[in-house]
Amino acid sequence: MHPWEAYQGIYLHIPFCQHKCSYCDFISYQGQDGKARTRYVKALIKEIRSCEAPLPVSRGATIYVGGGTPSLLSLEELAAIFSALKEKGYFNAPREVTLEANPGTVDEAYLRGLRALGVDRLSLGIQSLEDSELRLMGRTHTADEARHIIQLSKEAGFTRLSCDLIYGFPTQTAASIEASLTELMALGPSHISIYGLSVEPGTVLSHKLQKGLWTLPTDEETGAMYDLIMDRLVKGGYERYEISNFAKAGDESRHNLIYWHYHPYLAFGAGATGFDGRKRETNQAYLAAYERGEAPEVEILSPAVQREEMIFMNLRTVRGLSLLDYETRFGRSFEHDYGPETEDLIHKGWAKREDGYFRLTPLGMQYGNLAFEAFITTDREPQK
């Protein structure tokens, strides 16, 4: 069986947070009390139990609990969710179980409880180790709390730790990014995700920028930040394996590789999107609608859209697109379908073809979105 013929991962969305960050447009809700979380967990478990998956779930399928801030759930609530997955046979010797956590939301007992539940990887929302930047971002933690959660996690037995940093935020400089990154690497997480700031409509950040209250760094300044980050991470022993992700050898995110390799995954929770290889189903985002069990929105993907998405998702990775996988999955040659586009990218120095793969060069990764546009030629076929 090919990996695209079974679900390779399971995503669980926990949409609660203490405070919505100034840049965030994720589906998350602040200020919800314990009763709201209880209702939500019951709805989530009901969705899991009622799932009739059109594909088999692979033994070893990864589990990823994202948000929001999943670490706001109690250990008992997480145990009940995992129990529902086990009842369905979905929690079956998973290759990886990741939970997102924010500094200031956990203690050592909670972290040890996560280990006992089978969580073997933490994704920590650090974002910066400068207190002034954290305040502007709307983060609820301090730099000291960020340092503390990394140490606590190690003491609780987590050897696989991922930490996020953002660059390009108002007031950030190359010097402040270098200070945060240098200290973070010294703290020793096995995985670091670096995200260039994206300004999303409707966020506090967007409003402040429109009002002229905040100013973004210039393109030249963010370019310097990018170059510095690439240099420091490589020198620090972190290998780039995806546009925004760097890991010590063997510590890549197995779950996220499912997305980038364009393999199917199940998704549960408000606003969560699952993918079976031919269509996407997105749950209702509003809590009340989700808890009532309203039907998800369905997007049917034409064969052309499937091909294009497989290309640009795989091109996010250093490995690149397997030409054999493309031909096996779609029954047609990548070179036949996209010969002129690939030659243009190779001519620009943005891509190369080697060892049976088509992949972006480091320069191509720097201009990733522009490179991906070369393969987007068709309209989607939405269906509700």
Q: Where are the domains of the chain?
A: 3-259, 304-384
**Residue 121 scores a pLDDT above 60:** yes
| Distance from C-alpha of 111 to C-alpha of 121, rounded to nearest angstrom | 11
Pairing state between β 97-101 and 121-127? parallel
Which pLDDT tens digit goes with each residue over 197-209?
888 898 889 988 9
Which pLDDT does position 380 carry in this prediction?
44
**Amino acid type, 84:** A
| Distance from C-alpha of 156 to C-alpha of 19, rounded to nearest angstrom | 26
**DSSP letter, residue 4:** G
Task: Tell me the pTM.
Answer: 0.93
- Pick the closest to residue 279 from 296, 291, 293 (CA basis): 296
Using an 8 Å Cβ cutoff, are 52 and 3 in contact?
no
pLDDT band, very low/low/confident/very high, at 22 (cuts 50, 70, 90):
confident
Which pLDDT tens digit goes with each residue over 243-274?
999 999 999 999 999 999 999 999 999 999 99
Which pLDDT does position 378 carry in this prediction?
54
**DSSP letter, residue 290:** H
Handedness of CA 267, 16, 129, 206 (dihedral sign): positive
Which pLDDT tens digit goes with each residue over 276-304?
999 999 999 999 999 999 999 999 999 99
**Average pLDDT for the chain:** 93
Which pLDDT tens digit goes with each residue over 204-245?
899 889 989 899 999 999 999 999 999 999 999 999 999 999
**Residue 31 scores a pLDDT above 70:** no
Topology of 304-384 in CATH?
Answer: Arc Repressor Mutant, subunit A (1.10.10)
pLDDT band, very low/low/confident/very high, at 369 (cuts 50, 70, 90):
confident
Which pLDDT does position 115 carry in this prediction?
98
| Distance from C-alpha of 305 to C-alpha of 315, rounded to nearest angstrom | 15
Which pLDDT does position 109 carry in this prediction?
96
> Which tokens in the block code for residue 377?
């030629």
Contacts 24+ apart (CB under 8 A), 296-303: 297/384, 298/383, 298/384, 299/380, 299/381, 299/382, 299/383, 300/381, 300/382, 300/383, 301/380, 301/381, 302/378, 302/380, 302/381, 303/330
* Beta bridge partners of residue 97, listed in sequence order: 63
- Pick the closest to residue 235 from 294, 174, 295, 192 (CA basis): 192
Which pLDDT does position 258 carry in this prediction?
98
The secondary structure of 227-267, three-state, reads HHHHHHHHHCCCEEEECCEEECCCCCCHHHHHHHCCCCEEE
Q: What is the dihedral of CA 159, 228, 23, 131, to 10 degrees?
A: 70
> Which tokens in the block code for residue 59?
């033994």
pLDDT band, very low/low/confident/very high, at 20 (cuts 50, 70, 90):
low
- Name the CATH code of domain 3-259 (choices 1.10.760.10, 3.40.50.300, 3.30.70.370, 3.20.20.70): 3.20.20.70
Which pLDDT tens digit goes with each residue over 153-197?
999 999 999 999 999 999 999 999 999 999 999 999 999 999 988
pLDDT band, very low/low/confident/very high, at 25 (cuts 50, 70, 90):
low
**Residue 128 scores a pLDDT above 70:** yes
pLDDT band, very low/low/confident/very high, at 381 (cuts 50, 70, 90):
very low
- Pick the closest to residue 75 from 46, 40, 47, 99 (CA basis): 99
Strand spans (E) along 258-350 = 265-268, 273-275, 279-282, 297-300, 321-322
Q: What residues have CB less than 8 Å from 39, skipping those under 6 apart? A: 287, 291
**Residue 382 scores a pLDDT above 50:** no
- Percentage of the chain exceeding pLDDT 90: 83
> Which tokens in the block code for residue 22?
């100034």
Which pLDDT does position 32 carry in this prediction?
72
